[in-house]
Amino acid sequence: MPRILSFLLLAFPLLSCEKEKETTEETALQGINNTAPNTMVMMDTALKAPFYLLIQSSGKVKAYKDVKILAETNGNITKANIQSGQKVSAGEELIRLDQREALLQLQSAENNYEKNKLEFENSLIGFPKLLAQAKPEEDSLYQKLKIASGLQESSIQLKKAQIALEKTIIRAPFSGTLYDVQAFTGKNVVAGDELLSEFNHRLMVELFLLESEALNLKTGMPAEITNAAMNATFSGEVFTVNPKVDENGLVQVQILVKGQHSLWPGMNVEVEVRIPKGDRLQVPKSSLVLRSGKPVVFSIEGDLAKWNYVEFGFDNGEMVEITDGLEEGMLVITNNNLQLAHDAPISIQNAKE
């Protein structure tokens, strides 16, 4: 019994020390767990610099001149050395139809005209006073004699025969590129048949903008045109702004493609117009957050985030103009700022060494 009592008396201090050690470690761990880590953020600088309002939209390439060329008369094609993609000059012969019938009609009309002309001249011999006038053609008798001789009608028929012959030759209405060619040598066509199409080399991009965007545009403003399929960018400028808002609240705008390019009508492109608004104090758009419906930007002081109510103006999708609430040169937080509080501890990821 004395031995057991002695053992208990010796073990009690050891158990007490072990318990105190466990309590101290638990308290230390609780202290670590209750300390919130710093929020990792990226920073940028509120800077006064030239501000550009960006207008971006999708559009479709169209030719300034684009026509379908139709057959104007019936006939068999005797010449058509053309193909889609071929570049042609204004007035260049593209297609020729069989001209034999048209030539015969023209010859007959010419003969009839000469015959009636002779009859008319003979009829004038009997009216010497009429011939003595300075301008006999203005006399009503002159016109009656002309009609009676058949010269008036034969003159009309001659012009019709000349036009009929001209219709057997299809010429390029302007300089451009041919496409959708359906004509070939030996093909029979009737008036109204579609033979080919042509577009000129002055290409436009047609797009539709909100009226609030269109009101900022002026003719001649530079534009950038991008075609994803080509992975290429081309220069352009605002050509027309149609002064009408359609039923969808949109305004038609045309952008002229400038310089040498390889775009085709019908291609889909992206257009960006940069409208200068002068020097403005601006921050990245990602630094602006809303709290209770009010715009806020967090600035940086030491390792703390500072809450700043701001007022903003222009927004180009990348940068936002700040009209009140910040000063030039202030460091601002650009990410992880949605849940930040005033004086929240932060660590800057992109801080300069």
On whether both 221 and 341 belong to a single domain, the answer is no
Higher-confidence residue of 291 and 11: namely 291
Q: Are 299 and 340 in contact (CB under 8 A)?
A: no
> Which tokens sit at 87?
């570049």
Whether 10 maps to a domain, the answer reads no
What is the predicted pLDDT for the residue at 4? 44
C-alpha of 29 from chain center: 63
- Interval 80-88 mean pLDDT: 95
Q: State the Cα–Cα distance between residues 139 and 10, nearest whole angstrom.
A: 154
On whether both 114 and 178 belong to a single domain, the answer is no
| Residue of 62, 75, 2 lying closest to 236 (CA atoms) | 62
Which of 224, 259, 278 delimits the end of a domain? 278
Q: With 90 as the cut, is the pLDDT of residue 34 above it?
A: no
What is the predicted pLDDT for the residue at 6? 46
Query: Could you list the residue range(s) of the whole structural domain that residue 222 is in?
Result: 55-64+201-278
Instruction: Give the SS3 label for residue 91.
Output: coil
Q: Are 257 and 203 in contact (CB under 8 A)?
A: yes
Q: In sequence order, which ranges of the chain are alpha helices (DSSP H)?
A: 2-33, 100-124, 128-132, 140-148, 151-166, 211-214
Q: With 80 as the cut, is the pLDDT of residue 17 above it?
A: no
On whether both 274 and 209 belong to a single domain, the answer is yes
On whether both 105 and 86 belong to a single domain, the answer is no
> Which tokens sit at 50?
């030239």
Q: State the Cα–Cα distance between residues 56 and 253, nearest whole angstrom.
A: 12
pLDDT per residue over 112-148, tens digit each? 999 999 999 999 888 988 888 889 888 999 999 999 9
- Interval 320-328 mean pLDDT: 96
What is the predicted pLDDT for the residue at 35? 58
- Interval 88-106 mean pLDDT: 97
- Interval 77-101 mean pLDDT: 96
What is the predicted pLDDT for the residue at 340? 92
Average pLDDT for the chain: 89
- Interval 72-97 mean pLDDT: 96
| Residue of 200, 316, 203, 198 lying closest to 254 (CA atoms) | 203
Q: With 50 as the cut, is the pLDDT of residue 28 above it?
A: no
Name the residue type at position 330.
M
Q: With 60 as the cut, is the pLDDT of residue 27 above it?
A: no
On whether both 93 and 181 belong to a single domain, the answer is yes
Whether 20 maps to a domain, the answer reads no
| Residue of 236, 225, 174 lying closest to 201 (CA atoms) | 174
Q: With 50 as the cut, is the pLDDT of residue 262 above it?
A: yes
